Amino acid sequence: MSRHIEWLAALLGAALLVLLAWSAPWLRFVLTVALAKGIAVLGLLLLLRAGQVSFGHALFVAFAAYAVAFAAPSVPEALLLLPLAALGSALVGLVVGLFVVRYREIFFGMLNLAISMVFYSLLEKFYSITKGTDGIRLPPVTIAGQALTGATYEWTVFGIALVLALAFGALVRVYLASSMGQALMGIKTRETRLEFMGVSGRRVLLAAYVLSALMGGVGGAIIAMTSRHVTPALAYWTASGELVFIGILGGAGSVVGPFLGAVAYELTRVYAAAAVADAWQLILGAVLLAVILFAPGGLWALLRGRRTA
C-alpha cells in the first residue's frame, strides 16, 4: 500500500516539476538545484534512519562540484564527469567514514562538521589552486557528445537530475527494505544487539555513509553543471545545515520526503527572497518551527495525512 503511494507521489511530483519548469522557464534552474539537493538529502536520510545526523555533508556536495570544475577542461563530457565526481565523493566518504562511524550522535554530527570546515578552509585559502572565494567557472561541457546551449542544455541537465532523483529514490527504497537497511535502523534502537548477532554496527553504518557520500556527490556534480560556477560556499557549514533543514522539512519517513523538502525549500527561498529580500531566512525559520511543532514527520507525513515522528 505504502509502496504504491510513494510511487504515485514520485511520478505525480515528477510530472508536476516538468510542468512547472515548462510553464516558468526561469524555474528550470531552481528546480534542477532542488532535485540535486534532494538527492544529497536522500543520502542524509539514510543516516537519519540510523539515528545519526551529519552536520557536514556539504563536504561531499562540494567535493564533487569542485571535481567537476577541475576535470571539465580535460574531460568536457557531462556523462563522464558526473559519475567520476560522484565516485570521488564516495571515496572521500569511505576515508572520512572509516573515522566518523566510530562515533555516535552529537560526536558524529560535530566530527562531520569539523571535517567539512577543514575542506572549506582548504578551498578558500589555497587561492593558487582553487581561486579562493572567487570560485571556478566551468567551461562548456558536452552531454553525450552533443554541444548543447541555452534552454536545451538546461532542459537536459534538468532531465538528468530528474531521472537520477527517481533512480536513487528507488535504490534507497530497496536498500532500506533489505537486511542491510533494516540493520541500519537497528543502530538507532539497539546497536548492542547487532553486535551480539555477529554484525558490526560500524560497518553497517559505513556502508550507508559511503552511499550517502555518493549521493551527495551526485547532487554536487549536478549543481556544478547547472550553475556552471563553484565556490567554497558549497562546503560552508550553512550549506550542510541547509541539507539537514531540508531533511526535517520534507520528512525522513519516505524517500519522497527529501525531494518535497528540497522543492519547497528552494521555491520558498526564491519567492521569499523576491518578496522580502531582507527577511527570507525569517520566513524559512518560521516554516521549520511550524513543521517541527505541528508536523514532526515533515511535509511527507503532512501530505499523507498522519503524523509519523
CA triplet 288, 289, 294: central angle to 5 degrees? 100
Q: Give the residue with the Cβ less far from another protein, 2 or 192.
A: 192
Shortest reach from residue 177's CB to another protein, in Å: 5
Q: Give the residue with the Cβ less far from another protein, 103 or 155.
A: 103
Shortest reach from residue 160's CB to another protein, in Å: 24
Shortest reach from residue 205's CB to another protein, in Å: 13
- Give CA–CA dist 144/12, Å, rounded: 28
Shortest reach from residue 96's CB to another protein, in Å: 21
- Give CA–CA dist 48/109, Å, rounded: 11
Nearest alpha carbon to residue 259 among 84, 226, 267: 267
CA triplet 83, 84, 88: central angle to 5 degrees? 115
The H or E element that residue 307 is part of is none
Shortest reach from residue 3's CB to another protein, in Å: 11
**Greatest CA separation for the chain:** 57
Q: Give the residue with the Cβ less far from another protein, 87 or 110.
A: 87
Q: Which residues contact another protein by CB under 8 A?
A: 174-175, 177-183, 185-186, 188-190, 192-200, 204, 207
Shortest reach from residue 144's CB to another protein, in Å: 28
Q: Give the residue with the Cβ less far from another protein, 177 or 282.
A: 177
Q: Give the residue with the Cβ less far from another protein, 148 or 199.
A: 199
Q: Give the residue with the Cβ less far from another protein, 105 or 195.
A: 195
Q: Give the residue with the Cβ less far from another protein, 121 or 182.
A: 182
Residue 270: other Cβ atoms inside 10 A: 17
Q: Give the residue with the Cβ less far from another protein, 2 or 149.
A: 2
Amino acid at 252: A
Strand partners of residue 146:
143
CA distance to 42, 243, 263, 264, 284, per residue, from 259 (Å): 8, 11, 6, 8, 17
Cα Rg of the chain, angstroms: 19
**Strand, coil or helix: what is 48?**
helix
Shortest reach from residue 179's CB to another protein, in Å: 4
Amino acid at 228: R
Shortest reach from residue 194's CB to another protein, in Å: 8
Residue 161: other Cβ atoms inside 10 A: 26
- Residue for grid cell 501530505: 303
